[in-house]
Structure 1
Amino acid sequence: STLSYPLVVLGVIFQALPLIDLGILLFSLVVLFQLVTLPVEFNASRRALNTLESSHILDSNEVSQSGKVLTAAALTYVAALATALLNLLRLIAIRGNRD
């Protein structure tokens, strides 16, 4: 993602659609990576909660509260994916204005 924005900016400045397209392609890979890792993060939170519960490290009230925290942590990845998707749409709109 670090390289995609400069490519889009350079493509806009020099009116080079291939640079914009390359920047969009690179950012699309970032979005794809975030989409693929999303189930992994939810699974990690669920496994952590199961481990805490089965190890009897926490009492039942603490397990419930830990579940809320772990769910909130996993939801940050949903927010990151939504942000990345919106940024991708913005880049595509920028490219569309250059045709």
Structure 2
Amino acid sequence: MATSDRIRQLVTENEIVVFMKGVPESPQCGFSAGVVKVLDAIGRPYVGINVLDDPFLREGIKEYSDWPTLPQVYVGGEFIGGCDIVRDMYASGELQALFPSESA
């Protein structure tokens, strides 16, 4: 499977995906740790993909999103941004608004 097809499958089959250095339990850079902290605070399940394990994925995700840095966060198949954007969206409430309340 082509790298772009793998990425497309990951971001469409999971509500929230973060392409990061390391894994959520052990981020390997401060920016990845920052995104994990925000996503953990939201309390929704997400998939963390360690790009350090796969050099093709590490470069492929940058081409896929046309965004040069990591981490990269996808919600509902759409690229949201990196650490600073995700932190800003969380601080403003914009990130939480992407997830409808599940209380009836």
TM-score by length of 1: 0.28
TM-score by length of 2: 0.27
Query: Which is higher, the Rg of structure 1 or of structure 2?
Result: 1
Higher helix share: 1
Higher strand share: 2
